[in-house]
């Protein structure tokens, strides 16, 4: 059977990056310059946009950052309309679907790594715009933030369809504002809440029609789970506050607070915090 990705032998399925609908764990064929195992995400129908997409990735944080997923190549297969993004494998899955159960400390550190990656992007003049547990990958070397949504057309903010993790999208983006430091900080806080709690920031969002779900986020307030440990609840609350100017100064500040919590060996029994935005 012909491999679905030219130049690679497919070993199995993998978590896709950059909003690609599918990805494969592969071994490269005749490519000693690539590792033995890579993930190839299929950016469907994007071959004609290869220059635009490669230009978006042509900045320092996508080249060898310790906190961003390692990207090797963008490829167009002979005769294909798809673009293939070759990246390092995430053997631990994603924060949304980890291969093994994660404790609270590991989740906090994973979001901290994503926050550091986001800060690197911000300092290079780039807002990520789609940080979520699904874009936080768990590699053997630690958590890594995946690339932003590369398939998205200009002006597209998010997906509001069920399963699209709309709760991780800053309501400001739904008002039409462009992605920013503040919107990424919101997404970091929401990602942490989503990974730690069974209670949704916006109840029943997944059951809603897209327009209803979007209005629920736009006009509602996030409901924080009071059962979460106080220090983490404080971080989340500060990130998802409605006024962007009241959020942490930077994604780096979020990372440092989470790392401080994780390295202090805080127990999940340190108690909840009152006064969450209800």
Partner 1 sequence: MIGRLEVTSGPGMVIRYGNVAAWTTPDASPALHAFLIESARNLAGSPEAGQVLVDHLVSVLGAGDPEPQVGFAVVGPGRAGLVGLLHGPAQAWDGESWTVTPAQPGWARLACNPSPALFVNRAGDVSPQAVPSSVLDLEAGVVPGAGFILWPGDASEDELQVADLDDGALLEDPTLVDATLVDAALVDAAPEADEATQIMASPLAGAPGHAGRLGETEETGDATPTGHTWVFDLRSGPSPAQRGGGSPLPAVGSPFLVDGKQVLVEGVRCHRGHLNRPGMISCAVCSSPIRDGEEPPTLGPRPPLGCLVTSDGSVYRLDCDYRVGPPPQVAPKAPGSGEGDPPGAPRPLDFGGDPESQGRAEVILEGWDVVVLDGGSEVGTYLYRPGASKWQRMANGSRAVLEPGSHISFGRNVVTYINPWVAAPSADTADTGEGLAR
Report 57-116 residues binding partner 1 (CB under 8 A): 57-60, 62-64, 71-79, 88
Closest contact distance (angstroms) between CB of 119 and partner 1 is: 10
User: How far is CA 19 from each of CA 85, 132, 211, 234, rounded to the nearest angstrom?
Assistant: 11, 11, 21, 30
By rule CB under 8 A, what count of residues binds partner 1? Answer: 87
Among 21, 48, 66, 99, binds partner 1 (CB under 8 A): 48
Q: How many Cα atoms occupy the beta-carbon half-sphere of 171 within 13 Å?
A: 18
Closest contact distance (angstroms) between CB of 233 and partner 1 is: 20
Among 4, 22, 35, 200, binds partner 1 (CB under 8 A): 35
Tokens of 255: 């990372």
CA 249, distance to chain mean position in Å, is 20
Distance, CA of 234 to CA of 203 (rounded, Å): 20
Among 22, 27, 197, 260, binds partner 1 (CB under 8 A): 27
Subset of 153-172 contacting partner 1 (CB under 8 A)? 153-162, 164, 172
- Work out the number of other CB atoms within 10 angstroms of the CB of residue 258: 26
User: Looking at 48-56, 192-200, 226-234, 267-275, which segment touches partner 1 (CB under 8 A)?
Assistant: 48-56
Tokens of 147: 């690339």
CB of 87 or CB of 107, closer to partner 1: 87
CB of 148 or CB of 229, closer to partner 1: 148
Closest contact distance (angstroms) between CB of 14 and partner 1 is: 15
Among 90, 127, 165, 196, binds partner 1 (CB under 8 A): 127
CA 200, distance to chain mean position in Å, is 17
Q: Which DSSP string do the residues of 227-264 spell out, in sequence order?
A: TS-HHHHHHHHHHS-SSGGGS-S-HHHHHHHHHHHHHT
Closest contact distance (angstroms) between CB of 135 and partner 1 is: 17
Closest contact distance (angstroms) between CB of 272 and partner 1 is: 24
Is the Cβ–Cβ distance between 157 and 174 less than 8 Å? yes
Subset of 173-232 contacting partner 1 (CB under 8 A)? 173-178, 180-182, 185, 208-212, 214-216, 218-220
Report the residue count for the chain.
278
- Does the protein bind partner 1 through residue 151 (CB under 8 A)? no
Among 4, 10, 22, 37, binds partner 1 (CB under 8 A): 37
Q: SS3 of 135, please?
A: helix
Distance, CA of 142 to CA of 133 (rounded, Å): 14
Closest contact distance (angstroms) between CB of 70 and partner 1 is: 8
Closest contact distance (angstroms) between CB of 24 and partner 1 is: 15
Distance, CA of 111 to CA of 164 (rounded, Å): 19
- Does the protein bind partner 1 through residue 49 (CB under 8 A)? yes
Q: SS3 of 48, please?
A: helix
Among 13, 21, 36, 263, binds partner 1 (CB under 8 A): 36
């Amino acid at each position: 059977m012909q491999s679905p990705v030219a130049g690679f032998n497919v070993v199995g399925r993998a978590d896709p990056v950059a909003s690609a609908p599918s990805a494969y764990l592969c071994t490269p064929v005749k490519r000693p310059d690539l590792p033995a195992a890579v993930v190839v995400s299929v950016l469907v129908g994007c071959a004609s946009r290869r220059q635009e997409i490669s230009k978006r990735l042509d900045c320092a944080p996508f080249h060898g950052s310790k906190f961003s997923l390692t990207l090797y190549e963008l490829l167009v297969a002979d005769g294909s309309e798809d673009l293939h993004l070759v990246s390092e494998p995430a053997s631990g899955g994603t924060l949304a679907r980890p291969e093994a159960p994660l404790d609270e400390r590991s989740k906090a550190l994973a979001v901290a790594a994503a926050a550091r990656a986001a800060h690197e992007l911000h300092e290079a003049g780039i807002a990520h715009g789609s940080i979520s547990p699904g874009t936080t990958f768990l590699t053997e070397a630690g958590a890594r933030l995946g690339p932003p949504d590369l398939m998205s057309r200009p002006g597209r903010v998010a997906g509001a369809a069920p399963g699209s993790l709309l709760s991780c999208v800053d309501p400001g983006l739904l008002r039409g504002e462009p992605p920013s430091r503040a919107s990424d900080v919101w997404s970091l806080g929401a990602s942490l809440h989503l990974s730690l709690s069974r209670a949704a920031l916006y109840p029943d969002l997944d059951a809603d029609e897209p327009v209803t779900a979007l209005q629920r986020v736009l006009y509602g307030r996030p409901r924080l789970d009071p059962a979460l440990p106080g220090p983490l609840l404080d971080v989340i609350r500060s990130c998802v506050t409605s006024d962007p100017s009241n959020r942490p100064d930077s994604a780096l500040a979020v990372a440092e607070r989470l790392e401080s919590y994780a390295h202090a060996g805080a127990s999940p029994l340190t108690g909840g915090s009152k006064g969450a935005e209800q």
